[in-house]
Homo-oligomer: A and B are copies of this chain.
Amino acid sequence: MKALVVDDDRVLADVIAFTLRREGFEVLMSYDGENALKRWSEDQPDLIVLDVNMPKLDGFTVCRRIREHDDTPIILLTVRGEEDDIVKGLEIGADDYVVKPFSPRQLVARVNAVLRRAGSTLQPSEMQVRELCYSPAKREVTHLRDGKAIPLTPLENRLLECLMINAGQVMTVDIIIDHVWGPDGADRDMLRQLVRRLRIKIEPDPSNPEYIQTVPGLGYGLIS
């Protein structure tokens, strides 16, 4: 997830960037409107946090320009007291706003809310490989034969997601670990255990896997 933070107050921009990075975003920054437009068109961020008051191009203008082209989620930063800005911003097409000063927690909540609304179209509600039907939203898999829904734990969920998205291909251990545990990683023991636990849940016979195939020295893949 790439986020673009636009604010001429560099200190505040840093704070926001720090907050978002902690949430797992890759953060780009701009300190004025013109540069923001450039970054937006070049880097195609998934989210924009945009200050209203800026030299050169103000936030409204930037927001309007972007809206001429696409629907990238935009959160406006406005100043307390300028309530009209909020109305104007939302009319222009911003998705939400946060009034300065704000707590990091508040910003994160808004970001999540906005991405949720926008992102609903990002992930399909169901993915299917052969007899196996996976519902990320409910965190469960269903065997089409018996129709029984099996609940998954968060980690199992991310693993299956990773394999389903790339069904038919072999995913290396490193890639899988990155997807499941994030950049801070984990060791291979943990992945081995996780694969085992997922197999127990979805394979008819965990000792002779039909779905999760292991490729020695490389990684795992979902056989489609």
Interface string of A197-223 (1 = CB under 8 A from B): 000000000000000000111100000
Give the residue name and chain of the B residue nearest to A87 (CB): B109
Contact of A217 among B110, B137, B154 (CB under 8 A): B154
Cβ contacts under 8 Å, A90 to chain B:
113, 116
Is A184 an interface residue, CB under 8 A from the partner? yes
Asked whether A217 lies within 8 Å of B185 as measured between CB atoms, the reply is: no
The answer to the question of A39 belonging to the interface, with a C-beta cut-off of 8 Å to chain B, is: no
Nearest neighbor of A117 in chain B, beta-carbon distance = B90
B183, A139: Cβ atoms closer than 8 Å: no
Is A153 part of the contact surface with B, judged by Cβ < 8 Å? yes
Docked complex Cα distance between A175 and B11 (Å): 30
A98 to B84, CA, bound (A): 10
Q: Contacts A153-B217, A215-B151 given: A106-B170 contact, CB under 8 Å?
A: no
Closest residue to A157 on the B side, CB-wise?
B217
User: Does B87 lie within 8 Å of A217, measured CB to CB?
Assistant: no
| Copies of this protein in the complex | 2
Residue A105 interfacial (CB < 8 Å): yes
Q: In the complex, which residues of chain B have a beta carbon less than 8 angstroms from the beta carbon of A185?
A: 105-106, 109
Which residue of B84, B105, B139, B215 is within 8 Å of A215 (Cβ)? B139
Flag whether A65 is at the interface (Cβ < 8 A).
no
Mask, A171-199, CB within 8 Å of B = 1, is 00011011000011100000000000000
- Contact A109–B174 (Cβ < 8 Å): yes
Taking the complex as formed, is A138 at the interface, i.e. its CB lies under 8 A from any CB of chain B?
yes
Are the C-beta atoms of B106 and A183 separated by less than 8 Å? yes
Q: Does A224 contact B (CB under 8 A)?
A: no
A169 in contact (CB, < 8 A):
yes
| Ranked 7 nearest A-B pairs via Cβ | A154-B217, A87-B109, A109-B185, A87-B113, A109-B183, A113-B178, A138-B170
Q: Please report A residues at the B interface, Cβ cutoff 8 Å.
A: 84, 86-88, 90-91, 98, 103, 105-106, 109-110, 112-113, 116, 137-139, 151, 153-154, 169-170, 174-175, 177-178, 183-185, 215-218
Question: Given A109-B185, A112-B174, A116-B174, 4 more contacts at CB 8 Å?
Answer: A105-B184, A116-B175, A137-B169, A137-B170
